[in-house]
């Protein structure tokens, strides 16, 4: 077994299934889906983003929201100003509704994340301004209901 495949299998054992969303432009003063949850509920064990194109220098309060098919949307992580974040900056979703956590590129960090349940619907990235820049996202999850899956939006 090659090293990359072994790492992937070990991560799945520890954190659950992994889904990557390719780098994409930030939503412009709006929310946009980053992941879609289908067929049932999932337990998200880790949700992280990485800046791949520098974020424009302009105030932009950013949050992650659960956007259920049925029910009311709610913040999973809120209130981080991502103005001028450099390539390699990581965003960590703590999962308890408090602020999205950001680290500078090159900074070592431990992913302190509480697992959280997401119903059928989506996980959205919501930006308060129209900034240029791109972020790629990775989610690890465990299905709660039979057949529940997460896909990149």
Domain boundaries, the chain: 3-152
Query: Residue 108: what pLDDT?
Result: 66
**pLDDT band of 70, cuts 50, 70, 90:** very high
CA–CA gap between residue 133 and residue 82 (Å, rounded)? 10
In contact, 60 and 83? CB cutoff 8 Å: yes
Query: Residue 55: what pLDDT?
Result: 98
Average pLDDT over all residues of the chain: 92
- Kindly state the percentage of the chain with pLDDT values over 90: 75
Task: Report which of residues 151 and 98 the model is more confident about.
Answer: 151
pLDDT tens digits along 91-141: 999 888 888 888 888 776 665 678 999 999 999 999 999 999 999 999 999
In contact, 45 and 91? CB cutoff 8 Å: no
């Amino acid at each position: 077994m090659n090293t990359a495949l072994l790492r992937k299998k070990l991560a799945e054992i520890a954190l659950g299934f992994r889904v990557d969303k390719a780098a994409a432009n930030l939503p412009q003063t709006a929310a946009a889906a980053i992941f879609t949850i289908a067929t049932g509920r999932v337990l998200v064990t880790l949700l992280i983003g990485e800046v791949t194109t520098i974020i424009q220098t302009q105030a932009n309060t950013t949050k992650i929201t659960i956007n259920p098919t049925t029910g009311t949307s709610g913040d999973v992580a809120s209130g981080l100003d991502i103005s001028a974040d450099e390539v390699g900056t990581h965003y960590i979703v703590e999962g308890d509704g408090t602020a999205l956590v950001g680290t500078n590129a090159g900074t070592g960090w431990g992913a302190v994340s509480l697992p959280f349940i997401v119903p059928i619907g989506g996980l959205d990235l919501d930006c308060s301004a129209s900034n240029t820049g791109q972020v790629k996202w990775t989610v690890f999850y465990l299905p709660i209901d039979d057949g529940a899956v997460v896909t990149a939006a």
